[in-house]
Each structure stands twice: as structure tokens, then as C-alpha cells.
Amino acid sequence: MSEIVEQDFSEVLKQIQLSKEKAYKQVNTVLIDLYWSIGQYVSLKCIKENWGKSVVKELAEFIQHKDPTIKGFTARSIWRMKQFYETYKDNEKVSTLLTQISWSNNLCNLRVV
């Protein structure tokens, strides 16, 4: 393969890799927003309607029963979403930055807080 062709092909490969990275970041942002929204919803339900462990467990079971393809919404995960929301809800700057890091890194941060 000539050096010119390899450079051209490498440019296309670079574009693919950059787009792939951009897509991962966008998916992460959407997921963090979803987890934030669920955490907010559950937090408010706990306050206003006295939701507790048994109701959140029922919610997790409901999600799994209605759509078995959905993963990651166990009762424990939902409680973490609630904790995530409650930990950062009063700090708008931090909550915006949280979408830039992965969920697992956010969980590590919650353990430190």
C-alpha cells in the first residue's frame, strides 16, 4: 500500500474513531440525565408518598417484568440514583459536570462524599 493511500485511509479511520468516541459521550450524557431524573422522581416519592425499600423493590421488579431487556434497574441501583440526585441537586455547576463522567465514576464519587 502506498504511503499516500495509507494516509488517506488513516484519515477516514480517524474520523470513524472520533465519531465513535463522540457517540459514547452522548450516550453517557443521556444515561446520566436518565439516572438523575429517576433519582429525583424516587426522592420526591419518598418524601411525599413515603416510598421505602419495599416500594422501590416493587418498582425494580415491575421494570424487569414489563421489559426484561432493560438491565441495571435493580432496587439497589435505583437507590443509588436517588442518592446521586440528593447528593448533587443543590449544586447546579457540579450536576452539569456530572454528565461528563461515566456512571461508574459517579458512583465512586458518591462513596467519597
Domain count, the chain: 1
Beta strands in the chain (DSSP E): none
The more confident residue out of 103 and 52 is 52
What is the model's pTM?
0.84
Domain interval for residue 87: 3-112
Q: Which of the four pLDDT bands, split at 50, 70 and 90, describes residue 78?
A: very high
**Digit-coded pLDDT (tens) for 20-77:** 999 999 999 999 999 999 999 999 999 999 999 999 999 999 999 999 999 999 999 9
Predicted pLDDT of residue 100? 83
- Quote the CA–CA distance of 113 and 77 in Å, as a whole number: 17
Find how far residue 81's CA is from the centre of its chain: 9
Predicted pLDDT of residue 58? 98
